[in-house]
Protein backbone atom coordinates (compact mmCIF):
# COMPACT_ATOMS: atom_id res chain seq x y z
CA UNK A 1 0.00 0.00 0.00
CA UNK A 2 1.41 3.41 -0.96
CA UNK A 3 0.33 7.03 -0.96
CA UNK A 4 0.53 9.38 -3.91
CA UNK A 5 -0.18 13.12 -4.25
CA UNK A 6 -3.31 14.03 -6.18
CA UNK A 7 -5.14 17.34 -6.26
CA UNK A 8 -3.93 18.61 -2.90
CA UNK A 9 -4.87 15.30 -1.31
CA UNK A 10 -2.81 12.37 -0.15
CA UNK A 11 -4.43 9.53 -2.02
CA UNK A 12 -3.79 5.86 -1.39
CA UNK A 13 -3.02 2.86 -3.53
CA UNK A 14 -3.82 -0.76 -2.69
CA UNK A 15 -3.41 -3.82 -4.91
CA UNK A 16 -2.58 -1.51 -7.80
CA UNK A 17 -5.77 0.56 -7.49
CA UNK A 18 -5.79 4.22 -6.53
CA UNK A 19 -8.28 5.06 -3.79
CA UNK A 20 -9.18 8.70 -3.00
CA UNK A 21 -8.30 9.80 0.51
CA UNK A 22 -11.81 11.17 0.99
CA UNK A 23 -14.96 9.33 -0.08
CA UNK A 24 -18.45 10.77 -0.29
CA UNK A 25 -20.87 8.57 1.64
CA UNK A 26 -24.44 8.34 0.33
CA UNK A 27 -26.26 6.73 3.27
CA UNK A 28 -29.45 8.31 4.65
CA UNK A 29 -29.89 10.80 1.81
CA UNK A 30 -33.24 9.39 0.58
CA UNK A 31 -34.92 11.77 -1.91
CA UNK A 32 -31.82 14.01 -2.00
CA UNK A 33 -29.46 11.18 -2.97
CA UNK A 34 -29.22 11.97 -6.68
CA UNK A 35 -28.90 15.71 -6.09
CA UNK A 36 -26.20 15.37 -3.44
CA UNK A 37 -24.24 12.75 -5.38
CA UNK A 38 -24.21 15.03 -8.42
CA UNK A 39 -23.19 18.00 -6.28
CA UNK A 40 -20.36 16.10 -4.61
CA UNK A 41 -18.95 14.99 -7.95
CA UNK A 42 -19.35 18.43 -9.48
CA UNK A 43 -17.50 20.06 -6.57
CA UNK A 44 -14.60 17.65 -6.89
CA UNK A 45 -15.17 14.35 -5.10
CA UNK A 46 -13.91 11.40 -7.14
CA UNK A 47 -14.85 8.62 -4.73
CA UNK A 48 -18.40 7.48 -3.95
CA UNK A 49 -19.45 4.96 -1.28
CA UNK A 50 -22.90 3.37 -1.41
CA UNK A 51 -24.65 0.02 -0.86
CA UNK A 52 -27.42 -2.04 -2.43
CA UNK A 53 -29.41 -1.76 0.80
CA UNK A 54 -32.59 0.26 0.31
CA UNK A 55 -33.07 0.46 4.09
CA UNK A 56 -30.30 3.08 4.35
CA UNK A 57 -29.27 3.88 0.76
CA UNK A 58 -30.87 4.68 -2.59
CA UNK A 59 -28.28 3.11 -4.85
CA UNK A 60 -30.30 3.74 -8.03
CA UNK A 61 -30.39 7.45 -7.22
CA UNK A 62 -26.61 7.40 -6.75
CA UNK A 63 -26.44 6.18 -10.34
CA UNK A 64 -28.70 9.03 -11.41
CA UNK A 65 -26.42 11.52 -9.69
CA UNK A 66 -23.34 10.05 -11.36
CA UNK A 67 -25.00 10.27 -14.78
CA UNK A 68 -26.08 13.87 -14.14
CA UNK A 69 -22.56 14.89 -13.12
CA UNK A 70 -21.20 13.58 -16.42
CA UNK A 71 -17.96 12.50 -14.76
CA UNK A 72 -15.51 10.28 -16.62
CA UNK A 73 -15.74 6.69 -15.39
CA UNK A 74 -11.96 6.49 -15.41
CA UNK A 75 -11.77 9.30 -12.85
CA UNK A 76 -14.34 7.80 -10.49
CA UNK A 77 -13.72 5.35 -7.65
CA UNK A 78 -17.02 3.58 -7.03
CA UNK A 79 -17.61 1.39 -3.98
CA UNK A 80 -20.78 -0.51 -3.09
CA UNK A 81 -21.76 -3.39 -0.83
CA UNK A 82 -23.54 -6.71 -0.53
CA UNK A 83 -25.81 -6.79 2.53
CA UNK A 84 -26.95 -9.96 4.29
CA UNK A 85 -30.71 -10.52 4.49
CA UNK A 86 -30.84 -9.50 8.16
CA UNK A 87 -29.57 -6.04 7.19
CA UNK A 88 -32.50 -5.32 4.87
CA UNK A 89 -36.07 -4.24 5.36
CA UNK A 90 -38.69 -5.67 3.01
CA UNK A 91 -36.91 -4.17 -0.03
CA UNK A 92 -34.38 -6.89 -0.81
CA UNK A 93 -32.39 -6.74 -4.08
CA UNK A 94 -32.21 -10.52 -4.46
CA UNK A 95 -34.28 -13.67 -3.95
CA UNK A 96 -34.18 -14.33 -0.19
CA UNK A 97 -34.79 -18.04 -0.81
CA UNK A 98 -31.90 -18.40 -3.25
CA UNK A 99 -28.51 -19.86 -2.30
CA UNK A 100 -26.10 -17.27 -0.92
CA UNK A 101 -23.91 -17.34 -4.01
CA UNK A 102 -26.96 -16.53 -6.13
CA UNK A 103 -27.94 -13.72 -3.76
CA UNK A 104 -24.51 -12.15 -4.16
CA UNK A 105 -24.67 -12.42 -7.94
CA UNK A 106 -28.18 -10.97 -8.06
CA UNK A 107 -27.29 -8.08 -5.76
CA UNK A 108 -24.14 -7.35 -7.75
CA UNK A 109 -25.98 -7.39 -11.08
CA UNK A 110 -28.58 -5.05 -9.60
CA UNK A 111 -25.81 -2.70 -8.41
CA UNK A 112 -24.30 -2.54 -11.89
CA UNK A 113 -27.71 -1.61 -13.27
CA UNK A 114 -28.38 0.96 -10.56
CA UNK A 115 -25.02 2.64 -11.04
CA UNK A 116 -24.89 2.41 -14.82
CA UNK A 117 -21.46 0.77 -14.90
CA UNK A 118 -19.96 -2.54 -15.95
CA UNK A 119 -17.40 -2.80 -13.15
CA UNK A 120 -17.21 -1.93 -9.45
CA UNK A 121 -13.95 -0.59 -8.05
CA UNK A 122 -14.50 -1.98 -4.55
CA UNK A 123 -17.17 -4.50 -3.58
CA UNK A 124 -17.63 -4.73 0.17
CA UNK A 125 -19.30 -7.30 2.41
CA UNK A 126 -21.48 -5.01 4.53
CA UNK A 127 -20.77 -7.08 7.62
CA UNK A 128 -20.47 -10.64 8.91
CA UNK A 129 -23.74 -12.29 9.93
CA UNK A 130 -22.66 -12.32 13.57
CA UNK A 131 -20.63 -10.00 15.78
CA UNK A 132 -18.35 -12.88 16.68
CA UNK A 133 -16.59 -15.47 14.54
CA UNK A 134 -16.62 -16.14 10.84
CA UNK A 135 -19.54 -18.37 9.91
CA UNK A 136 -20.20 -20.80 7.12
CA UNK A 137 -22.53 -18.20 5.59
CA UNK A 138 -19.77 -15.57 5.67
CA UNK A 139 -17.44 -17.98 3.89
CA UNK A 140 -20.02 -18.71 1.19
CA UNK A 141 -20.64 -15.03 0.58
CA UNK A 142 -16.92 -14.26 0.41
CA UNK A 143 -16.32 -17.11 -2.05
CA UNK A 144 -19.09 -15.68 -4.24
CA UNK A 145 -17.46 -12.25 -4.06
CA UNK A 146 -14.13 -13.82 -5.01
CA UNK A 147 -15.80 -15.25 -8.10
CA UNK A 148 -16.93 -11.74 -9.10
CA UNK A 149 -13.38 -10.52 -8.62
CA UNK A 150 -11.95 -13.38 -10.64
CA UNK A 151 -14.47 -12.67 -13.39
CA UNK A 152 -13.24 -9.08 -13.73
CA UNK A 153 -16.37 -7.37 -12.47
CA UNK A 154 -14.70 -6.13 -9.29
CA UNK A 155 -11.24 -4.62 -8.82
CA UNK A 156 -11.03 -4.82 -5.02
CA UNK A 157 -12.85 -6.78 -2.33
CA UNK A 158 -13.55 -5.45 1.13
CA UNK A 159 -15.39 -6.04 4.39
CA UNK A 160 -17.17 -3.64 6.73
CA UNK A 161 -18.24 -3.65 10.38
CA UNK A 162 -15.64 -6.28 11.22
CA UNK A 163 -13.73 -7.09 14.39
CA UNK A 164 -10.03 -7.83 14.64
CA UNK A 165 -10.78 -11.53 15.23
CA UNK A 166 -13.03 -11.76 12.19
CA UNK A 167 -10.58 -9.91 9.96
CA UNK A 168 -7.71 -12.20 10.93
CA UNK A 169 -9.79 -15.30 10.14
CA UNK A 170 -10.85 -13.86 6.79
CA UNK A 171 -7.29 -12.94 5.84
CA UNK A 172 -6.05 -16.41 6.77
CA UNK A 173 -8.76 -18.23 4.81
CA UNK A 174 -9.45 -16.06 1.78
CA UNK A 175 -8.10 -16.78 -1.66
CA UNK A 176 -8.63 -13.14 -2.62
CA UNK A 177 -7.68 -11.25 0.51
CA UNK A 178 -9.55 -8.07 1.45
CA UNK A 179 -8.07 -4.86 0.09
CA UNK A 180 -10.22 -2.54 2.18
CA UNK A 181 -11.85 -2.58 5.62
CA UNK A 182 -14.55 -0.04 6.40
CA UNK A 183 -15.44 0.43 10.08
CA UNK A 184 -17.09 2.97 12.32
CA UNK A 185 -14.08 4.68 13.84
CA UNK A 186 -14.10 5.63 17.52
CA UNK A 187 -11.50 7.79 19.23
CA UNK A 188 -12.15 5.86 22.44
CA UNK A 189 -10.65 2.73 20.84
CA UNK A 190 -7.62 4.59 19.54
CA UNK A 191 -9.43 5.16 16.26
CA UNK A 192 -9.98 1.39 15.90
CA UNK A 193 -6.33 0.75 16.68
CA UNK A 194 -6.52 -3.07 16.81
CA UNK A 195 -8.21 -3.45 13.44
CA UNK A 196 -5.94 -0.82 11.88
CA UNK A 197 -2.92 -2.77 13.11
CA UNK A 198 -4.12 -5.87 11.26
CA UNK A 199 -4.72 -3.76 8.18
CA UNK A 200 -1.22 -2.30 8.37
CA UNK A 201 0.37 -5.72 8.79
CA UNK A 202 -1.64 -7.25 5.93
CA UNK A 203 -1.43 -4.37 3.45
CA UNK A 204 -5.14 -3.55 3.75
CA UNK A 205 -6.51 -0.03 3.36
CA UNK A 206 -8.60 1.13 6.32
CA UNK A 207 -11.66 3.32 5.69
CA UNK A 208 -13.21 5.14 8.64
CA UNK A 209 -16.82 6.28 8.80
CA UNK A 210 -18.66 8.30 11.47
CA UNK A 211 -15.36 10.01 12.24
CA UNK A 212 -17.29 13.06 13.43
CA UNK A 213 -20.62 11.74 14.73
CA UNK A 214 -19.07 8.84 16.66
CA UNK A 215 -16.65 11.18 18.44
CA UNK A 216 -18.63 14.28 19.33
CA UNK A 217 -17.61 14.23 23.00
CA UNK A 218 -13.90 13.75 22.28
CA UNK A 219 -13.90 16.45 19.62
CA UNK A 220 -15.18 19.00 22.15
CA UNK A 221 -11.78 18.82 23.85
CA UNK A 222 -10.36 22.38 24.08
CA UNK A 223 -7.11 21.13 22.55
CA UNK A 224 -8.97 20.38 19.33
CA UNK A 225 -10.56 23.82 19.13
CA UNK A 226 -7.20 25.44 19.83
CA UNK A 227 -5.48 23.34 17.19
CA UNK A 228 -8.15 24.12 14.60
CA UNK A 229 -7.75 27.85 15.19
CA UNK A 230 -3.97 27.61 14.94
CA UNK A 231 -4.00 25.81 11.59
CA UNK A 232 -6.99 27.82 10.30
CA UNK A 233 -9.20 24.79 9.84
CA UNK A 234 -12.65 23.61 10.78
CA UNK A 235 -12.82 20.67 13.16
CA UNK A 236 -14.05 18.32 10.38
CA UNK A 237 -11.11 19.41 8.21
CA UNK A 238 -8.77 18.74 11.11
CA UNK A 239 -10.20 15.26 11.68
CA UNK A 240 -10.05 14.30 8.01
CA UNK A 241 -6.47 15.55 7.71
CA UNK A 242 -5.52 13.60 10.84
CA UNK A 243 -7.21 10.48 9.48
CA UNK A 244 -5.19 10.61 6.29
CA UNK A 245 -2.01 11.24 8.27
CA UNK A 246 -2.42 7.92 10.12
CA UNK A 247 -3.41 6.00 6.99
CA UNK A 248 -7.21 6.21 7.12
CA UNK A 249 -9.40 6.88 4.10
CA UNK A 250 -12.08 9.19 5.50
CA UNK A 251 -15.77 9.16 4.63
CA UNK A 252 -17.89 12.28 4.78
CA UNK A 253 -21.63 12.35 4.25
CA UNK A 254 -22.26 16.06 4.56
CA UNK A 255 -25.20 17.48 2.63
CA UNK A 256 -23.86 21.04 2.85
CA UNK A 257 -22.11 22.45 -0.22
CA UNK A 258 -19.73 24.64 1.79
CA UNK A 259 -18.76 21.74 4.04
CA UNK A 260 -18.11 19.56 0.98
CA UNK A 261 -15.75 22.19 -0.38
CA UNK A 262 -14.03 22.56 2.99
CA UNK A 263 -13.63 18.80 3.40
CA UNK A 264 -11.96 18.51 0.01
CA UNK A 265 -9.27 20.98 1.03
CA UNK A 266 -8.41 19.19 4.28
CA UNK A 267 -5.30 17.77 2.64
CA UNK A 268 -3.78 21.26 2.50
CA UNK A 269 -3.67 21.56 6.30
CA UNK A 270 -0.21 21.33 7.82
CA UNK A 271 -0.24 19.21 10.99
CA UNK A 272 2.80 18.83 13.20
CA UNK A 273 3.70 15.32 14.43
CA UNK A 274 2.66 16.33 17.94
CA UNK A 275 -0.76 17.39 16.61
CA UNK A 276 -1.28 13.92 15.20
CA UNK A 277 -0.30 12.38 18.53
CA UNK A 278 -2.70 14.66 20.41
CA UNK A 279 -5.65 13.67 18.24
CA UNK A 280 -4.72 10.00 18.26
CA UNK A 281 -4.71 10.01 22.06
CA UNK A 282 -7.89 12.04 22.55
CA UNK A 283 -9.63 9.27 24.48
CA UNK A 284 -6.93 9.32 27.15
CA UNK A 285 -7.48 13.03 27.72
CA UNK A 286 -11.13 12.70 28.72
pLDDT at 47 over 50: yes
Confidence of residue 70 (pLDDT cuts 50, 70, 90): confident
Among residues 45, 61, 50, the alpha carbon closest in space to that of 27 is found at: 50
pLDDT at 10 over 70: no
pLDDT at 3: 42
Confidence of residue 8 (pLDDT cuts 50, 70, 90): very low
pLDDT at 252: 98
Q: Which helix (H) or strand (E) holds 120?
A: strand 120-125
Distance CA 108, CA 82 (A): 7
Which pTM was predicted? 0.95
pLDDT at 271: 95
pLDDT at 283: 77
The region of weakest confidence among 168-172, 181-185, 215-219, 280-284 is: 280-284
pLDDT digits (tens, 9 = 90+) for 134-190: 999 999 999 999 999 999 999 999 999 999 999 999 999 999 999 999 999 999 999
Assign 208 to helix, strand or coil: strand
Residue 126: CATH number of its domain? 3.20.20.100
pLDDT at 286: 53
Q: At what angle do helices 257-264 and 235-245 cross, to 10 degrees?
A: 40
Residue ranges making up the domain that contains 14: 2-285
pLDDT at 4 over 70: no
Count of structural domains, the chain = 1
| Mean pLDDT, the chain, integer | 95
Amino acid sequence: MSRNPHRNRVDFEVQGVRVPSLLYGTAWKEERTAELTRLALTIGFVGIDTANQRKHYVEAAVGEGIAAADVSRGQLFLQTKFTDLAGHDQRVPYDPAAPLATQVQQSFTSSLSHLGVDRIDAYVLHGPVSRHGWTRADRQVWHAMEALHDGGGVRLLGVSNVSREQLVILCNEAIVTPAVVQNRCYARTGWDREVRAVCRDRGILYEGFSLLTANERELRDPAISSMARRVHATIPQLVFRFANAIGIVALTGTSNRTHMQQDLTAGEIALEPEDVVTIENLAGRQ
